[in-house]
Structure 1
Amino acid sequence: MTDKQKKSALGIMVLAILFVSINLRPAISSIGPLLDTIRADLSLTSSQVSLLTSVPVFCMGLFAPLAVVFNKKLGLKKSIAILLTAIGAFTLLRGFLPTYPILLASAFFIGLSIAIISPLLSAMIKRNFPTRTASLIGVYSFGMGLGATLAAGLTGVFYAVAGWPFALASWGLLSVAAIILWLRVKEPAAEVDEIPLEGIAVVSPWKNRRAWYMLLFFGFQSALFFSIITWLAPIAIEKGMSILVAGAVLTVMSTVQIACNLSIPLLLEKWPSRHLWIMISLGFGAVGVLLLMFAGIAFIWPAAICLGITLGGLFPLALMMPLDENSTPDDVNSWTAMIQSGGYIISALTPFAIGLFYDRFQNHMISLSLFLGFIAMLMVFAFLLKEKPATD
């Protein structure tokens, strides 16, 4: 392969990573703006409807190790194509059969598909872009943030046009573009399909203290993300906003989030301290939650901006941790599978727990107190991980 062909192949690969990652959030984040509508229309409790976001996140943790099996049996390229098709198909199914059992089943299979795709993409980045992992993680996290932003901002609009089943199902069309582009990916050097993904590191991450700190950090940042995505709109509605305006609040938050998804990895090239950016992100988060707790309806907007900075900064920083810590795709996959498996299982419980608390107390002050608790725990683990400076 010539240098020109190699550069072209890498360019297509970067674009494919972007489009694949865009599909990893809309099926989950589109639920938040319609949470109360779905609950009322299907006569559900808050805890029941919150399972539509908790179940896929739990699956994202439980089934991450299946990336090894899929890669071994089908290869990376075919695996991701099949899994993207599953995400699209089950998302579209919500429009044709808008019942609670179908919504719950689709949430399960969508979460399973996302779980398997994520470790494979991380290994791919480490193998093909070993000196530019921060930039490619920026592309990866930007794509997920963009997908979440589009879903948060447009789901309410689609709902106003054609109802909530159409609003949920419409996001399945995103997978079509991603599949077409993904099938054009060619490996410029070694076949990513041939990357050994046995998940066996020289030292097992399950026996490594820092790996456990990273798992808990990832878990709490993910818990914060999915809880806010699920419950920010209902909190705004409780304070007096309409569904469309609450959806706009989510759009503002998500727009800021994707800007930070892309800019934080770039800023790390000039100011490389991971700890600094983690603390800055958490500081904004604390301010945002306090505004929601104690300020009036007008302050929901600046709170959304602060929370967008927090979520947009924490996610790429958490994704970089196993890549910073290891030098081979095998070890990156092993650490990523462990961290995301445990982390997503932790975070899956939180939207459901918040739904239970709201059913019991009919007040979101407990929800916001939990958000502050997550931020406090993240600060603790940030300091525990600071003992070994991360470098590219």
Structure 2
Amino acid sequence: MRKVGKKSTLAGVIFAILLVALNLRPAISSIGPMLEPIRADLSLTNGQVSLLTAVPVLCMGLFAPFAIVFNRRFGFKRSIGFLLAIIGLFTLGRGLWPSYFNLLLSSFFIGIAIAIIGPMLSAMIKRDFPNRTASLIGVYSFGMGLGATLAAGFTSVVYAASGWPAGLAIWSGLALAALIVWLRTAEPKSDLDGQVVPESTLIIARSPWKNLKAWYMLLFFGFQSAFFFSMLTWLAPIAIDKGLSVLAAGAVVTVMTAVQIVCNISVPLLFSRYPNRFHWVLAVLSFGTVGILLLMFAGTWSVWLAAALIGVALGGLFPIALLLPLDATDSADEANSWAAMTQSGGYLISAFMPFIIGVIYDNTGNHDISLWLFLSFVFFMILFAYLLNRKA
């Protein structure tokens, strides 16, 4: 088995991780800007079209545990390569067969692929970069955020030129690029120092489902994910209620996601100097809390600042949530099991939160309760981060 000894090879592996991460959001986030054109063109109800974004997130919760099966049977390289091909084929199929059935079918299989890749990518980072997990998780989370932002922004541009089927299908090219790079550069079972990990030393981990700490991580991941998806869905309507135009409200969301992307990669780079995760949770959530309070009590001028502050919180929380299972485990297989559990339960929690907020808004006509609900997310994240810190 060949060792990883050259910096150029390491850079290739890191680039491959970045490209894989880039593909974990575009198939979902590209649907959002196209919901109305799809609904009108295919004569769908709002309920039907909403399933196109709900199904992938639900699959991300239901199928994440299969990452353990895929890794043990096929290994990281073959599994992730196969799942990238699934994402690319079903994304391309949206343009070739633009029917509601195919859109729903593609959402289902793409959601499964994303669900399985997520924990496996975390586990691979644990295995290959045991001394720099925080930095590589930063690359991973940066890639996901960048992919989501690119798809949300450029899908509309392609739609204006060629229609919504092309706007959705174009992201298959990103999956193809990632697949080529992944198969050419991904190195099996090697850490940053070039040491080879024999197959016989890979420990088959015990299930984390009976471990209280794993449950704390699951709930932390769930509330940070609920915070992210709820803000992504409802920040623009909240901004409109505060007096902004539809165009300005969309720009507010762009500000939030841009700040989030910067923090996705910059915050983890500081973990080696300031390693205490609980202190980081308190720090980034202090920004988010101020942002929520501005939305609750300040005027229209505050929306832009609030979006930036919330972006800091979202950008810092996600890499922390990804790192917690890696901090608590000793092997890649164990990290895969813990990451699969936390992401499975966490995404199931978050899948329903934007819908619940929508129901609340339908019944109250304002976002007052929604904003208090966001503050409750902050409270619960601090609570579970404290419990994890205390148990450490």
Q: Which bin holds the TM-score, normalised by the shorter protein?
A: 0.7 to 0.9
TM-score (norm 2): 0.88
Residue number in structure 2 paired with 1:142: 142
Unmatched segments (≥5 aa) in structure 2: 191-195
Q: Is contact 2:63-2:115 (8 Å) kept?
A: yes
Question: Residue 249 in 1 paired to residue 252 in 2?
Answer: yes
Residue number in structure 2 paired with 1:200: 205
Q: Is contact 1:141-1:261 (8 Å) kept?
A: yes
Q: Is contact 1:249-1:304 (8 Å) kept?
A: yes
Identity %: 63
Residue number in structure 2 paired with 1:353: 356
Q: Is contact 1:54-1:351 (8 Å) kept?
A: no
Query: How far apart, CA to CA, are the structure 2 residues paired with 1:19 and 1:238?
Result: 37
Closer, same or farther in 2 for the Cα pair 1:161/1:260, shift >3 Å? same
Matched ranges for 1:12-161 at <5 A: 12-35=12-35, 38-39=38-39, 46-161=46-161
Closer, same or farther in 2 for the Cα pair 1:132/1:250, shift >3 Å? same
Closer, same or farther in 2 for the Cα pair 1:176/1:56, shift >3 Å? same
CA shift at 1:386, angstroms? 2.0
CA shift at 1:42, angstroms? 5.1
1:282 is aligned, of 282, 285, 303, to 285
Q: Is contact 2:67-2:336 (8 Å) kept?
A: no
Question: Residue 185 in 1 paired to residue 190 in 2?
Answer: no
Query: How far apart, CA to CA, are the structure 1 residues paired with 2:67 and 2:4?
Result: 32
More deviation in 77-86 or 230-239? 230-239
CA shift at 1:184, angstroms? 0.7
1:308 is aligned, of 307, 311, 325, to 311
Closer, same or farther in 2 for the Cα pair 1:102/1:289, shift >3 Å? farther
Deviations 1:9-58 (A, max 9, x none): 32211110000001101222233444455556555555544333222111
* Aligned residues: CA RMSD: 2.9
Matched ranges for 1:196-345 at <5 A: 200-201=205-206, 204-237=207-240, 244-345=247-348
More deviation in 109-118 or 360-369? 360-369
Q: Is contact 1:31-1:53 (8 Å) kept?
A: yes
Closer, same or farther in 2 for the Cα pair 1:228/1:266, shift >3 Å? same
Work out the number of aligned pairs and report it. Answer: 387
Q: Is contact 1:88-1:172 (8 Å) kept?
A: yes
CA shift at 1:318, angstroms? 0.7
Closer, same or farther in 2 for the Cα pair 1:97/1:230, shift >3 Å? farther
CA shift at 1:289, angstroms? 2.5
Q: What secondary structure does 1:184 align onto?
A: helix
CA shift at 1:189, angstroms? 5.4
Closer, same or farther in 2 for the Cα pair 1:92/1:368, shift >3 Å? farther
Q: What secondary structure does 1:75 align onto?
A: helix
Query: How far apart, CA to CA, are the structure 2 residues paired with 1:239 and 1:36?
Result: 23
More deviation in 380-389 or 342-351? 380-389
Query: How far apart, CA to CA, are the structure 1 residues paired with 2:247 and 2:156?
Result: 6
Closer, same or farther in 2 for the Cα pair 1:2/1:245, shift >3 Å? same
Query: How far apart, CA to CA, are the structure 2 residues paired with 1:234 and 1:30?
Result: 19
Q: 2:292 is matched by which residue type in structure 1?
A: V
Residue number in structure 1 paired with 2:193: none
Q: 1:115 is matched by which residue type in structure 2?
A: A
Deviations 1:89-143 (A, max 9, x none): 2223333444443332222111100111112111211111111111111111111
Query: How far apart, CA to CA, are the structure 2 residues paired with 1:5 and 1:82?
Result: 27
Query: How far apart, CA to CA, are the structure 1 residues paired with 2:42 and 2:297?
Result: 33
Closer, same or farther in 2 for the Cα pair 1:194/1:88, shift >3 Å? farther
Q: Is contact 2:239-2:303 (8 Å) kept?
A: yes
Query: How far apart, CA to CA, are the structure 2 residues paired with 1:365 and 1:99?
Result: 38
TM-score (norm 1): 0.88
Residue number in structure 2 paired with 1:9: 9
Q: What secondary structure does 2:205 align onto?
A: coil
CA shift at 1:193, angstroms? 11
Q: What secondary structure does 1:183 align onto?
A: helix
Q: Is contact 1:31-1:230 (8 Å) kept?
A: no
Closer, same or farther in 2 for the Cα pair 1:250/1:199, shift >3 Å? farther
Closer, same or farther in 2 for the Cα pair 1:363/1:88, shift >3 Å? farther
Q: What secondary structure does 2:390 align onto?
A: coil
Q: 1:301 is matched by which residue type in structure 2?
A: W
Unmatched segments (≥5 aa) in structure 1: none
CA shift at 1:192, angstroms? 8.5
Query: How far apart, CA to CA, are the structure 2 residues paired with 1:359 and 1:41?
Result: 26
Query: How far apart, CA to CA, are the structure 2 residues paired with 1:156 and 1:232?
Result: 19
Query: How far apart, CA to CA, are the structure 1 residues paired with 2:290 and 2:276?
Result: 22
Query: How far apart, CA to CA, are the structure 2 residues paired with 1:34 and 1:126?
Result: 37
Query: How far apart, CA to CA, are the structure 1 residues paired with 2:11 and 2:62?
Result: 32
Query: How far apart, CA to CA, are the structure 2 residues paired with 1:315 and 1:25?
Result: 14
Query: How far apart, CA to CA, are the structure 2 residues paired with 1:199 and 1:53?
Result: 35
Query: How far apart, CA to CA, are the structure 1 residues paired with 2:323 and 2:52?
Result: 28
Q: 1:182 is matched by which residue type in structure 2?
A: W
Q: 1:24 is matched by which residue type in structure 2?
A: L
